[in-house]
Amino acid sequence: MNGEVRHAHAIYPGSFDPPTNGHLDVIARAAMIFPALTVAVVVNPQKRDPFFTLDEREEMLRRCTSQYSNVHVGHFRGLLADFVRRLDADVIVKGLRVVSDFESEMAFAHMNRALTNVDTMFLMADSAYSFVSSSLIKEVFLQGGDVSKYVPQVVLEFMESKRRLQGRN
């Protein structure tokens, strides 16, 4: 870095299957801190049966972040570190909900720094969303529970239309 101050480009990676109000809260706060923020959807071959396709996840994120001129949505395959290098990004942003999140995130942060020399900065998700995760939202929704407080309206509409298409309702 040679003491050079950069106008930081941050990357906020995740599965976003689907994006929740917790994710949107982190995006809103990161967008106020960093001049450029790329929200990066991972194409994760290990997660065999995602609820939403990559295109749908990107589209939901685009619609939910359209008010921020400095936020862009993209995706990556493989290592986050390679994507960070490709974009010449300066920092990785992650949200922490509960202390136990930190356990695995600390290892990821060390590994990503070792691979790229790029640091990870953590924002604490608003306590209102400390129990909100994409997997819990899907589980509750698919069994008929009301998740409208935990996802943006546009995401709820995508979820309802997906459920109709899958004939689950």
Q: Which chain residues interact with ligand PNS by CB under 6 A?
A: 13-15, 42, 79-81, 108, 111-112
7 or 86: whose CB is closer to ligand PNS?
86
Which contacts qualify for 55-59: CB closer than 8 Å, 24 or more apart? Answer: 56/158, 56/162, 57/15, 57/16, 57/17, 57/18, 57/19, 59/158
CB of 77 to ligand PNS, least distance (A): 9
28 or 79: whose CB is closer to ligand PNS?
79
Tell me the catalytic residues.
23, 47, 97, 134
CB of 154 to ligand PNS, least distance (A): 19
CB of 133 to ligand PNS, least distance (A): 8
5 or 115: whose CB is closer to ligand PNS?
115
Cis upstream peptide for 18 (omega within 30°) = yes
Spatial contact of 120 and 11, defined as CB atoms under 8 Å apart: no
